[in-house]
Amino acid sequence: MKRLGFYIGFITITMTLLAAPALMAQSDKMTLDSSKGGAGKKRPAVIFQHNLHAEKGLSCKDCHHLYEKGENVLDESKLVEGSKEIQCSACHGSKSKLNLEEAYHGQCIGCHKKPMKDQKKTPPRYCGGCHVRK
Ligand code: HEC
Ligand code: HEC
Ligand code: HEC
Ligand code: HEC
């Protein structure tokens, strides 16, 4: 039994160490600005609490994707800070089916409108709930 306890402890520590880099790779508060601060921005940039969302039991692949034949085949180890290929803008540009604004609205508002269990507050659906004026 002592040995079993040791192995379980070992596995738990290993799993924690493996999970840590993924969690640490995320910035806590991100400023999302689809126009990169350029002229013509109509709404204030959105402050997005990345960790808060991950803590709500969402999987990385609920938001991050790489589609192949309609399936999300993203390798989660590719989700590292500073990587350009995982940014929404890498694929959602002015020429794509969904531009950047549509991609953000589709994902953010789409999920916020879904009924969710165990939630204390309704996530924001109105403009000012995300585009907060300072
Ligand atoms: C609710 C949606 C959502 C969930 C869940 C989510 N992310 Fe993100 N993540 C985003 C958005 C939006 C961005 C900003 C993308 C951009 O800048 O184009 C982002 C950016 C990132 C970045 C880039 C950070 C930087 O500054 O370079 C990393 C790394 C990342 N996410 C990792 C993860 C990992 C790992 C998980 C799972 C534990 C996860 N994300 C879960 C929405 C999410
Ligand atoms: C590697 C390229 C790539 C990246 C990075 C990417 N997308 Fe997509 N996304 C696609 C493709 C391809 C589709 C399928 C529809 C299409 O052809 O535009 C899609 C579809 C969507 C959809 C429609 C619903 C769905 O999930 O199928 C939304 C919403 C969306 N993306 C939002 C985002 C957001 C927000 C980010 C950043 C967190 C992001 N995408 C990052 C390529 C990408
Ligand atoms: C897959 C589901 C899902 C997606 C996608 C998602 N959210 Fe949320 N969001 C939630 C949940 C769940 C909460 C928390 C409600 C609560 O407090 O219980 C939340 C809360 C929030 C809040 C209020 C908390 C705060 O930070 O003040 C904001 C703002 C927010 N989300 C912005 C965004 C933005 C911007 C995006 C897109 C980049 C996004 N969300 C994408 C599920 C989602
Ligand atoms: C759940 C969060 C959320 C809600 C609700 C929301 N947005 Fe957005 N919106 C975003 C995110 C994230 C972006 C991309 C970051 C940015 O550029 O601000 C964006 C981008 C935009 C843009 C393009 C950039 C700009 O400022 O010109 C416009 C315009 C916009 N939203 C208008 C609206 C309007 C109008 C409403 C209400 C009908 C609304 N949004 C509701 C999250 C949201």
Confidence band for 9, pLDDT divided at 50, 70 and 90:
low
Looking at the CA of 33, name the nearest ligand: 4
Contact 87, 63 (CB under 8 A): no
List helix spans (H) across the chain.
2-24, 50-55, 88-91, 100-112, 127-130
pLDDT tens digit sequence for 89-111: 999 998 999 999 999 999 999 99
For residue 120, give both structure tokens. Answer: 């204390």
For residue 128, give both structure tokens. Answer: 């000012």
- Separation of 126 CA from ligand 4 center, angstroms? 10
- What residues does each domain of the chain span? 28-33+43-130
Q: 28-33+43-130, which class in CATH?
A: alpha beta
Q: Is the pTM of this model over 0.85?
A: yes
